[in-house]
């Protein structure tokens, strides 16, 4: 009885084991195939380890999206499909594990890790992320002739040296630089693919910027640790002006124009003119500090500084002018003989009084009020005229340098 039970038990065990083995065999066809292929494979050796040549790694990037440039931190972010391909003779196979299959996509991370891959890194990266939703965004594909395609989706935050001399009418050159971290150029040599090394989506929107052009190049970097092959792509970007014209230039023009209202008020309207001058000056200061916040504290003068500086001078000038006018309006005339003669056009309604003043018989006016009024009238022309002249120089100067070059690139499909 016990014997029969033992035999039955053993038989059951065998059956279960056999079933599992069969299942395993079925499930891991790719694993079996790959383990055969990788039998004598050393993941530490580059494909050309036995020869004197370097392994040529061909790179292509598909630019998924281009994040906005962050001026304050001098960086920008991009989302790319980084595609690297190389030839590994050891991975040649005559037929795949399924009939007529000349390409194998390796999904299993444990197998992926057994295949040699270049140790590419981004020289100017600040932060990087590989996407894992819903699966690792990695493609590793072999074909029968031994070519490997290794593609991954990465979101990168890259540093970019920006120059703000012409801000906000600036153009920036931001690049992506890749290279091998540990393998010198006699082991790995990078090349851009011949056909469209940088692939752009149909509609590439970059906040505030137009992509004018890009330039790819192959480099060799010399460090104390050796010479490393690398690749660089530089994007030529031009800032769109709409945002700053709406948010900065138009408001400041209005503030400056409002400060001129003061010239039409009475020289003795102290509360009105002082509050007008001080309010406009304070508003301008607030606006200026808002602009400063989005920029790094660079030590040179930017285009926006020139503008804000000029607006400050205009508003401050109007306030100073009032101080002088008010002082004049209240100053008692001591010696009318030495009085300055006011031209007719600025005399206005004071012309009669002026005539009286010239007449020695007439009673001299108590104060220099008419001079004050004349000065106000002069400033009504002088201030807007000066500001207009400044604008006529400012805008062409900065816009010409910004638009002196080609139109934004259009993607050809
Ligand atoms: C494999 O290719 C051959 C010739 O190209 C074809 O006759 C055959 O039907 C293919 N087999 C499968 C399973 O696709
Ligand atoms: C493998 O890929 C390379 C490069 O894409 C190609 O030149 C080659 O013809 C492919 N071989 C096969 C068998 O598909």
User: How do residues 308-354 score in pLDDT, each as one tens digit?
Assistant: 999 999 999 999 999 999 999 998 887 655 566 777 777 776 666 65
* Ligand 1 pocket, residue 100 CB under 6 Å: yes
Secondary structure of the chain in HEC code, one letter for each residue: CHHHHHHHHHHHHHHHHHHHHHHHHHHCHHHHHHHHHCCCCCCCCCCCCCCCCCEEEEEEEEEEEECCCECCCCEEEEEEEEEEEEECHHHCCCCCCCCCCCEEECCCHHHHCCCCCCCEEECCEEEEEECCCCCCCEEEEEECCCEEEEEEEEEEEEECCCCCCCCCCCEEEEEEEEEECCCCCCCEEEEECCCCCEECCCCCCECCEEEEEEEEEEEEEEECCEEEEEEEEEEEEEECCHHHHHHHHHHHHHHHHHHHHHHHCCCCCHHHHHHHHHHHHHHHHHHHHHHHHCCCCCCCCCHHHHHHHHHHHHHHHHHHHHHHHHHHHHCECCCHHHCCCCCHHHHHHHHHHHHHHHCCCCCCCCECHHHHHHHHHHHHHHHHHHHHHHHHHHHHHHHHHHHCCCCCCCCCC
Provide the mean pLDDT of the chain.
88
State what percent of residues in the chain have pLDDT above 90: 68
Residues 224 and 269 in one domain: no
Q: Which residues pair with 152 in a beta bridge?
A: 82, 138
Kindly state the tokens that stand for 366.
């108590």
144 C-alpha to ligand 2 centroid (Å): 7
Residues 255 and 132 in one domain: no
Residues 114 and 157 in one domain: yes
361 has pLDDT over 60: no
pLDDT at 350: 67
- List, for residues 5-47, the tens digit of each pLDDT value: 666 666 666 666 666 666 555 557 888 888 889 999 999 999 9
pLDDT at 123: 95
What gap in Å lies between CA 279 and CA 271, rounded to an integer? 12
193 C-alpha to ligand 2 centroid (Å): 15
- List, for residues 79-137, the tens digit of each pLDDT value: 999 999 999 999 999 877 777 788 899 988 999 999 999 999 999 999 999 999 999 99
pLDDT at 64: 93
> Is residue 20 situated within a structural domain?
no
What gap in Å lies between CA 271 and CA 325, rounded to an integer? 14
Looking at the CA of 99, which ligand is closest? Answer: 1
Those residues whose C-beta lies under 8 Å from the C-beta of residue 372, and which sit 6 or more positions away, are: 267, 325, 326, 328, 329
For position 73, which CATH number holds?
2.70.170.10
Residues 381 and 250 in one domain: yes
Question: Which residue, judged by its Cα, is nearest atom 14 of ligand 2?
Answer: 143
Residues 96 and 170 in one domain: yes
- Tokens 């292929």 map to which residue? 37
Residues 205 and 162 in one domain: yes
Q: Which residues pair with 238 in a beta bridge?
A: 171, 210
145 C-alpha to ligand 2 centroid (Å): 6
Q: How many CB atoms lie within 10 A of CB 50?
A: 10
Tell me how many domains the chain contains: 2
What gap in Å lies between CA 402 and CA 19, rounded to an integer? 73
Compute the radius of gyration of the chain from its Cα atoms. 38
Give the position, in ligand 1's atom list, of the atom nearest the Cα of 98: 13
pLDDT at 400: 92
236 has pLDDT over 50: yes
Q: Which of 185, 217, 240 is a domain's end point?
A: 240
Residues 199 and 287 in one domain: no
Give the position, in ligand 2's atom list, of the atom nearest the Cα of 144: 13
> Is residue 254 situated within a structural domain?
yes
Burial 391-404 (b: 16+ CB within 10 A, else e): eeebeeebeeebee
Under 8 Å between Cβ of 70 and 141: no
pLDDT at 30: 83
> Is residue 13 situated within a structural domain?
no
By DSSP bridging, strand 198-199 and strand 55-66 are: parallel
Residues 183 and 275 in one domain: no
* Ligand 1 pocket, residue 102 CB under 6 Å: no
294 has pLDDT over 90: no
Under 8 Å between Cβ of 391 and 257: no
Q: Which of 240, 267, 295 is a domain's end point?
A: 240
> Is residue 409 situated within a structural domain?
no
Q: Which of 217, 240, 263 is a domain's end point?
A: 240
Residues 365 and 303 in one domain: yes
| pTM passes above 0.75 | yes
Question: Which residue, judged by its Cα, is nearest atom 5 of ligand 2?
Answer: 147
Residues 236 and 289 in one domain: no
Residues 201 and 154 in one domain: yes
Residues 98 and 206 in one domain: yes
- Tokens 């100067």 map to which residue? 397
Under 8 Å between Cβ of 169 and 303: yes
> Is residue 173 situated within a structural domain?
yes
Burial class of 144 by CB neighbour count within 10 A (0 to 12, 13 to 18, 19+): middle
What gap in Å lies between CA 229 and CA 195, rounded to an integer? 20
Under 8 Å between Cβ of 373 and 350: yes
Q: Which domain holds residue 110?
A: 31-240
> Is residue 21 situated within a structural domain?
no
Looking at the CA of 98, which ligand is closest? Answer: 1
Looking at the CA of 101, which ligand is closest? Answer: 1
For position 364, which CATH number holds?
1.20.58.390
> Is residue 197 situated within a structural domain?
yes
359 has pLDDT over 90: no
> Is residue 298 situated within a structural domain?
yes
* Ligand 2 pocket, residue 151 CB under 6 Å: no
């Amino acid at each position: 009885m016990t014997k029969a039970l033992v035999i039955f038990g053993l038989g059951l065990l065998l059956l279960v084991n056999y079933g599992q083995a069969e299942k395993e065999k079925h499930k891991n066809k790719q694993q079996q195939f790959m383990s055969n292929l990788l039998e004598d494979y050393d993941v530490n050796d580059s494909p050309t380890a036995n020869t004197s040549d370097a392994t040529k790694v061909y790179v292509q990037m598909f630019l998924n999206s281009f994040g906005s440039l962050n001026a304050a931190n001098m960086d920008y972010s991009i989302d790319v499909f980084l595609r690297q391909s190389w030839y590994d003779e050891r991975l040649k196979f005559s037929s795949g594990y399924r009939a007529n299959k000349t390409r194998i996509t390796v999904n299993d991370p444990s197998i992926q890790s057994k295949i040699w891959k270049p140790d590419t890194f981004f020289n100017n990266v600040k932060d990087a992320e590989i996407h894992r939703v819903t699966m690792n965004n990695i493609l590793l594909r072999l074909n029968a002739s031994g070519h490997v395609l290794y593609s991954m989706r990465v979101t990168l935050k890259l540093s970019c040296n920006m120059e703000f001399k012409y801000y906000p009418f600036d153009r920036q050159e931001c690049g992506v630089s890749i290279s091998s971290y540990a393998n010198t150029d006699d082991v790995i040599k990078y090349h851009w693919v011949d056909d469209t090394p940088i692939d752009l989506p149909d509609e590439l929107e970059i906040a505030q910027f137009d992509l004018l052009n890009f330039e790819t190049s192959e480099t060799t970097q010399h460090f104390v640790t050796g010479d490393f092959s690398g690749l660089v792509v530089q994007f030529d970007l031009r800032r769109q002006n709409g945002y700053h014209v709406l948010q900065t230039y138009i408001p400041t023009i209005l503030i400056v124009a409002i400060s001129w209202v003061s010239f039409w008020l009475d020289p003795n309207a102290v509360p009105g003119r002082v509050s007008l001058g001080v309010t406009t000056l304070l508003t301008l200061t607030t606006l200026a500090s808002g602009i400063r916040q989005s920029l790094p504290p660079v030590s040179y003068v930017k285009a926006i500084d020139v503008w804000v500086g000029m607006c400050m001078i205009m508003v401050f000038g109007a306030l100073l002018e009032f101080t002088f006018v008010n002082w004049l309006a209240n100053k008692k005339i001591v010696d009318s003989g030495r009085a300055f003669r006011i031209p007719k056009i600025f005399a206005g309604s004071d012309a009669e009084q002026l005539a009286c003043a010239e007449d020695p018989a007439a009673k001299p006016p108590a104060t220099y009020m008419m001079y004050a009024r004349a000065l106000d009238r002069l400033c009504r022309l002088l201030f807007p005229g000066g500001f207009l002249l400044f604008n006529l120089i400012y805008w062409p100067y900065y816009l010409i340098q910004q638009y002196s070059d080609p139109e934004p690139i259009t993607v050809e499909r």
